[in-house]
Amino acid sequence: MCLICSWHESSTSNEERSSDHAAFAIAQTHVPTLIKVTAKERAAGNEFLRRWPTVDIHSHPGRFFMEGAPVTPFAESLAPPFTDEAVEQICCGGVGTVVFAAVSDHLLLEASRDGLQAIREFAPGEAYRDYRRQMARLQRLIGTGTLRLVRDSSEIREAHRLGQPACMFSIEGGDFIEERLERLSEAYQEGIRSITIIHYHVNQIGDTQTEAAVHGGLSALGRRIVEEMNRLGILIDLSHASLAASRQAAEISSQPMLFSHSNLRKSTSTHPRLISVEHARLVTETGGLVGATSAGFDQSTFEEYIVTILRMVDAVGIEHVAIGTDLDFTFKPVFSDYRDWSLIPAALLARGMHDAEVAKILGGNFLRLLDAARDGSVTRQIAGAYGKATHDRSKLNGT
């Protein structure tokens, strides 16, 4: 039990609240994280968080982006946003930095049996207006002083040294840019350090994994946006981008890129959000990384999430894996409460990984990417490097 928030008592009411909204598989509130770790292993996880700066590289805590938004039928189908509660959980769980991702196209989305889909187009200026609303919410959030805004690796390390929970800004979907490249410098000025250029809506930048291709990958404007992001030092996030869009971005980008929340496909996988190892390598060969998401694609328990992470390490190398949970806006999450954050390092350490290896996954690799984007230098010495990691592979069979 967490001594600060006594969270085992509070979890019951959260579960009750979420049960009213069980019709949609999007994350609602807390689902207990079930994994067998001993008290000693859990203590090792907590101790790890004190020693190393950790980052969740893609998250929507409490669905903050929906607070104060026009109510769509999709938003109405979800439990109300719970940003303040999620921030408390971040503080309580000892998470170092959480990348808060605004969502460009949420006003267009509707849930179907196969996932989310954009069901209409934006009116001119609508995407930008909603972006401004979401940024105002984030500014109010950091105005409370509970979370410190960090913009580079040294600020992440400093926040960790001071024991101060921190947030970095990102946005999922480049729709808000419309056709105005100057909005990228505006976003940078406001603290945005990564943009998932394409989300569920086939936007002005390029094609998504979950819809038929319209642009054949990236549009001409999309290519200019990639170049401008390189110039400014904003990380290019290709989660949701189609294979062709990812390949074209990899050809153009002078900087390492990332898939902030994309798991690897198995031979039996069918979900279009999962990516092949070859798709992942388009990015890892730029020196970039793949964030393992806790979404319930091909995994239904936290234990399986740990296996997902270990398999990813074996497929693309220890230097190219990170954690991008996608809390609290994802499909059937197997991890949904930051108060359990220490269970991730605890479970990886318990599977035989060394401290320094876990530190790369939980933050170090992402800090390297931020440095490369800021300095404008490609980390070629690491690009495509396949670093093996120590862990107990005997338990990977059959999962």
**Ramachandran assignment for 33, one of left (phi > 0), alpha (psi -120 to 50 degrees), beta (any other):** beta
* Closest residue to bound Zn ion by CB: 326
Does residue number 207 form part of the binding site for Zn ion (CB under 5 A)? no
Instruction: Identify which of residues 238 and 318 has a Cβ nearer to Zn ion in the complex.
Output: 238
Using the contact rule CB under 5 A, the part of the chain among 76-84, 167-175, 180-188, 282-290 near Zn ion is 167-175
Q: For residues 274, 277, 278 and 279, what is the CA-based torsion angle, rounded to 10 degrees?
A: 30
Q: How far is the CB of 237 from Zn ion (least distance, A)?
A: 9
Give 381: exposed, middle or buried? Use CB within 10 Å, 0-12, 13-18, 19+: exposed
The closest alpha carbon to 173, from 213, 214, 131, belongs to 131
Cβ density class 196-216: b for 16+ within 10 Å, e for less: bbbbbbbbbbbbbbbeeeebe
Sites for Zn ion among residues 298-337 (CB under 5 A): 326
Separation CA 298–CA 275 (nearest Å):
12
Interface with Zn ion (CB under 5 A), residue total 2
Using the contact rule CB under 5 A, the part of the chain among 27-35, 73-81, 125-133, 169-177 near Zn ion is 169-177
Q: How far is the CB of 339 from Zn ion (least distance, A)?
A: 20
Per-residue binding string, Zn ion, 227-266, x by CB under 5 A, is: ----------------------------------------
Chain centroid to Cα 78, Å, comes to 20
Q: How far is the CB of 49 from Zn ion (least distance, A)?
A: 23
The closest alpha carbon to 122, from 53, 52, 175, 195, belongs to 175
Q: How far is the CB of 157 from Zn ion (least distance, A)?
A: 25
Chain centroid to Cα 8, Å, comes to 26
Instruction: Identify which of residues 167 and 389 has a Cβ nearer to Zn ion in the complex.
Output: 167
Q: How far is the CB of 310 from Zn ion (least distance, A)?
A: 22
Q: How far is the CB of 66 from Zn ion (least distance, A)?
A: 13
Residues that bind Zn ion (CB under 5 A): 172, 326
